[in-house]
Structure 1
Amino acid sequence: MAGRLAALPEAGTTGAMAPSPQRNLYLDSIRCVAVSGGRIVSIAVHSGLSCSVDSSSAPSDSYASKVTASSAGSSCAAAAELGAHELTKIGRRMISDGYTRRMALEYSGGSDGALETLFSELDVDWVLQIPEGRGSRRKLQLNDLAERWVRAFIVILTCIVEEQPSSPSARFGKASINKMLVFVDAVVSPQEEKTLSLRDLLDMYICVSSAAYNLTGTLSLSPGVQHIYSGIACSLSREGDKLNRAMYSRMEEVWALMENDDSWAFEIRRGGGKVHPNTQLMVDCILSIVEALGWAGNYAWFQDTTNLRRLIDENVHYLKEFLLRKSVLCSDPTLRYLFLLNNSYLVAQLFELRPGDHWGLTPQCEKYMDGYLDVSWRPVLSHIPQMAFMEGYQDVPRGHVMFCIPKTFSHTPFQRLMKTTSPLAKFDSAFRKAYQAQKFLKVPDPWLRSVLRETITKRIISRYRDYLAYLKNHPELEKHVSHRCSSTNQLKEMLGELFEG
């Protein structure tokens, strides 16, 4: 890492800082907490104020309006709740032990070591060294720094919110938050803006934005304390805007990489229509935002989800347009529609309530599936004469069915066609050709693969069976048709082998 974060100490070192008494009272406990990023903040503070996602800030037909807390996934939820609970308990223990009050009084008395002592206890003493660039030249992983920062931020916020409000505690809280925000300035700076992952940016954004709202809504405070809290909230809002811009910038970087990738046509052909790696990359990015919105919106104190909703909607709309544009590079219409179906279905899965839930195909996915069936299997069905599919032909008298066959049957074009070619033979040949061409195409999702197979089977087998029944009821036609044909069970078995890749 370049810039202010290039020179930071390893875990446990404090550079030139003087030792302080009663260290490591809470440090080991904090380090043992496994966090799932800033999303645990939604449980850490005011956990009793739960509510559903407020979709009033987004259009009802937006993708973000479909997101619920369930979207984040049960395993992520369990880890987040456990981590938040542990960090909140540590913050409350600091209050009940009188630790934060002592630190606030030391700070009010002019002690320069109060912040150093607290930040060392919170495992973020390196934050105090960012402006000066002190410490070891050995680098720490930025995601490790972000995780430590999130843990410390939750503890600090818990102490500020739950400590009995007083001028010393408010001033100490403001100083602590301001020092923590130095890290935000560092990671969104031009020197560092490309080194922090989107997930880390989201984690920090949720932390900062939720804290800003929480402090703004604090009531029953003295004018002096309220003024300090308002100042903290303004600083947090300002840094939240910076993180929001950084998130947009990060998404733009990913889009630029995808736009400049000239391997799309080759990858679509080589992949047999499966999900493109670039699509998976972008879906993973959007999923990070969906999860963040799901957790943030599940709690009443985090009200302003507009930025996250907008980020989701814009990227989903762009991804759909992007996939359609890139699919044109594929000259094979069958492969093109299968590529669009696979990739669009992956995008649609972003908004399932739980992994494995299926609401059916979206209208867009149905459109792509119909396009695939039209270019791939309609030519196969075209070899079965349409005259065999009059509605209710099996229920009407034989003479009425035959109205479409002239009495001079032996001299009609249909008879000559039946004598020279067999519709069943041509159908069988076309079917096997389509089967061989598509057997090794790929539909990775088991549910989608099953739906596609069932749809093809229904259209092909039902029409084929009806035609065989029609011929059986009309021997004057059956004798003109080759009797060498596949059984419906054989065709079903072959169709059940499609799309394994």
Structure 2
Amino acid sequence: MAGRLSFVPKFGEWDSRDPARSRLGRTSPPPRNLYRDLIRSVAVSGGQYIRHPIHAGSSYSPSGASNSHFHPSNNSDCSSGSASGAARADFCAHDHELTKIARRMVGDGYARRMVNAFDSGGPDRAALETWFLELDVDWVLQISEENYDLRQQLQDKASSSSPQELVDRWIRAVTVIAVSVTELVVTVDDETPTVARFGRASMAEMLVFVDAIIPALKEEKLQALVGMYMCVRSASYRFTPLLISSEAQTILNEIGASLSREVIRLREAIFSTMEEVRALVEDDDLWAIEIPRGRGEVHRNTRFMVDCIMSMVKAGGSTRTSAQSHDDANFGGLVADSVNYLKDLLLRKSKICSDPSLRYLFLLNNHYLVAQLSERWPGDHWGLAPECIKFKDSYLDVSWGHVLSHIPKTGFMDSCCLDVSCGCAWLCIPKTGIHGSRQNRKQTSSLAKFESAFHKTYQAQKFWKVQDPQLRDVLRRAIAGRVVEGYRYYLKKHPALENQVSSRGSSPDVLNQMLGELFEG
């Protein structure tokens, strides 16, 4: 590996508003690894996509997972908003930080000295080796060498880098190269062809990585592909026509064309990978075990699919600022198709569950997470997506409808006091009752059956799971509005019965308190 090339102006002398300062003679050696440390400090994965780790202690994994490129996360405790939060993470954040570093490398004079060293025709790729070392991707130059196998290196126990770590480092370097070259060609008018050739050589070495890494990607294949796609597409925009010499512009056009070809290849790889994702979750033979065991919670395959769809949303969103809308339309169609597929898959897999109450709770939980992919519905009970409302009402009917059926319906309410917003004003409760001991015994027996049915349902479902706190609150209030308020109204019409249930600890307020403990898991 070649040693450090030349030196650059002092760290504090850089001013992006005055590129001419890089030509001043006041120079001194920079701190060692100055730019590399700055580049490494920029977070890429954390704000770009959700990871899907393999949990070593997991008692199960998707069928065929050992040969798969994907492992849905078994972490059921993550927030239901995690995917949507990742989708809102700004791709421009790390791009902006890397752009500042690249401009500093230009302003400090370092980038130009790399170009001069490259143009001097020194030892075999010495300038690129030094340049790539500072960019933290010196290992990329090995990929084009004969008999180099990136997959074998990654499988080597001595390797300290994962495929995702290499992708992150590559994304940072591509961004810095693209910014440095395009900034430099408008700064040094007399050397633009040389800068362009340096940029072409640098980017050509970098793009070899794409073919090498794709076969090596496993657990985070889709997320890595999307990250590279967004990076390459962003870089390609930078090589649009500039006010430079025709020779230099021709070379920059070549760089832009090569990046555009990689954009297409990565997009095709993403689409192909989504098909693999569908096959993985479709063929997972553990649905039948995990749905009942999960007590209605959001299934790991649902989270996995939602995270993948959010990656598609981000990939499509990265194209909207450009004049080219073809990719935007493609990703938009893929997102819509994937959402529809996931909804249909959940309906089909839910039929595995023999308990209709648990089935509808499972559908409500999972569709609620899917609904978060759209911002049309806020996360409160007034804004539940239509499908979620349907599953909520079906759950209430099959789980709690029989509880109220034990209250006599010999009359009709003269007014509705129930929570209409919950769709629960359906029960006909007697306005007056027939006096007499026989009727009193009948009413007492009915209330005893009501209380028994309530407690039985409550105990059976107490530890069922609704992770999202807003949805959990909506469901609790819906049950209270349908069951407890109807019960309360009936007792008010029969004060003698109200005293009895209070003495037994079954007052409406007590039942409401009990409902406040439902669905904690």
Assess if the C-alpha contact under 8 Å between 1:71 and 1:352 holds in 2.
no
Could you give the per-residue CA deviations for residues 296-345 of structure 1, whole angstroms, max 9, x where no partner exists? 36856886533443343232221111111100000100000001111111
1:213 to 2:237 alignment: yes
Task: Tell me which amino acid in the other structure corresponds to 1:122.
Answer: L
Q: Which segment is superposed worse, 156-165 or 232-241?
A: 156-165
| Match of residue 177 from structure 1 | 203
Separation (CA, whole Å) in 2 of partners of 1:405 and 1:306: 65
Separation (CA, whole Å) in 2 of partners of 1:30 and 1:483: 69
| Match of residue 226 from structure 1 | 249
Say if 1:228 and 1:357 are closer, same or farther in 2 by CA, change over 3 A. farther
1:121 to 2:121 alignment: no
Q: Report how far residue 71 of structure 1 moved.
A: 4.8
Say if 1:119 and 1:28 are closer, same or farther in 2 by CA, change over 3 A. closer
| Match of residue 141 from structure 1 | 162
Q: Equivalent of 1:203, from 209, 213, 227?
A: 227
1:163 to 2:184 alignment: yes
TM-score, normalized by length of structure 2?
A: 0.72
| Match of residue 143 from structure 2 | 130
TM-score, normalized by length of structure 1?
A: 0.75
Q: Which segment is superposed worse, 272-281 or 247-256?
A: 247-256
Assess if the C-alpha contact under 8 Å between 2:179 and 2:238 holds in 1.
no
Task: Tell me which amino acid in the other structure corresponds to 2:305.
Answer: M
1:388 to 2:414 alignment: no
Q: Which segment is superposed worse, 485-494 or 419-428?
A: 419-428
The alignment of Structure 1 onto Structure 2 pairs a total of residues equal to 435
Q: Report how far residue 393 of structure 1 moved.
A: 9.2
| Match of residue 394 from structure 2 | 371
Separation (CA, whole Å) in 2 of partners of 1:213 and 1:489: 63
Task: Tell me which amino acid in the other structure corresponds to 2:132.
Answer: F
Q: Report how far residue 131 of structure 1 moved.
A: 1.8
Q: Which segment is superposed worse, 176-185 or 350-359?
A: 350-359
Residues 8-407 of structure 1: pairs in structure 2 closer than 5 A: 17-22=1-6, 24=32, 26-37=34-45, 71-72=85-86, 76-77=89-90, 81=93, 83-111=94-122, 112-132=125-145, 133=147, 138-139=158-159, 140-165=161-186, 166-188=192-214, 191-192=215-216, 194=218, 197-216=221-240, 218-291=241-314, 293=316, 296=318, 299=321, 304-351=327-374, 360-392=383-415
Could you give the per-residue CA deviations for residues 142-166 of structure 1, whole angstroms, max 9, x where no partner exists? 1221121111111111112222342
Task: Tell me which amino acid in the other structure corresponds to 1:470.
Answer: K
Separation (CA, whole Å) in 1 of partners of 2:382 and 2:315: 23
Separation (CA, whole Å) in 2 of partners of 1:453 and 1:128: 60
Separation (CA, whole Å) in 1 of partners of 2:143 and 2:472: 53
Say if 1:418 and 1:205 are closer, same or farther in 2 by CA, change over 3 A. same
Assess if the C-alpha contact under 8 Å between 1:327 and 1:340 holds in 2.
yes
Assess if the C-alpha contact under 8 Å between 2:297 and 2:366 holds in 1.
yes
Could you give the per-residue CA deviations for residues 400-435 of structure 1, whole angstroms, max 9, x where no partner exists? x999999xx99xxxx889759833222222222211
Task: Tell me which amino acid in the other structure corresponds to 1:210.
Answer: S
Say if 1:273 and 1:354 are closer, same or farther in 2 by CA, change over 3 A. closer
Could you give the per-residue CA deviations for residues 345-368 of structure 1, whole angstroms, max 9, x where no partner exists? 122234459998887311111111
| Match of residue 24 from structure 2 | none
| Match of residue 75 from structure 2 | none
Assess if the C-alpha contact under 8 Å between 1:39 and 1:206 holds in 2.
no
Assess if the C-alpha contact under 8 Å between 2:407 and 2:447 holds in 1.
yes
Say if 1:347 and 1:84 are closer, same or farther in 2 by CA, change over 3 A. same
Could you give the per-residue CA deviations for residues 172-230 of structure 1, whole angstroms, max 9, x where no partner exists? 21221111111012123xx43547632222111101112223323x3434433332222
Task: Tell me which amino acid in the other structure corresponds to 1:491.
Answer: L
Mark the runs of 5 or more structure 1 residues left unpaired by the alignment.
1-16, 41-68, 395-400
Assess if the C-alpha contact under 8 Å between 2:295 and 2:463 holds in 1.
yes
Separation (CA, whole Å) in 2 of partners of 1:179 and 1:393: 74
The alignment's C-alpha RMSD in Å is 3.9
Separation (CA, whole Å) in 2 of partners of 1:175 and 1:168: 11
Say if 1:228 and 1:103 are closer, same or farther in 2 by CA, change over 3 A. same
Q: Percent identity?
A: 49
Residues 392-471 of structure 1: pairs in structure 2 closer than 5 A: 392=415, 419=442, 422-471=445-494
Q: Which segment is superposed worse, 228-237 or 326-335?
A: 228-237
Say if 1:114 and 1:80 are closer, same or farther in 2 by CA, change over 3 A. same
Separation (CA, whole Å) in 1 of partners of 2:389 and 2:501: 36
Q: Report how far residue 236 of structure 1 moved.
A: 0.9
Could you give the per-residue CA deviations for residues 275-308 of structure 1, whole angstroms, max 9, x where no partner exists? 12222222233334445555x3685688653344
Separation (CA, whole Å) in 2 of partners of 1:357 and 1:224: 60
1:499 to 2:519 alignment: yes
Separation (CA, whole Å) in 1 of partners of 2:284 and 2:430: 60
Flag as ranges the 4+ runs of structure 1 deviating above 6 A: 353-359, 401-406, 415-418, 481-485
Greater relative contact order (Cα < 8 A, sep 6+)? 1
Secondary structure of 1:386's counterpart equals coil
Separation (CA, whole Å) in 1 of partners of 2:219 and 2:252: 32
Assess if the C-alpha contact under 8 Å between 1:388 and 1:467 holds in 2.
no
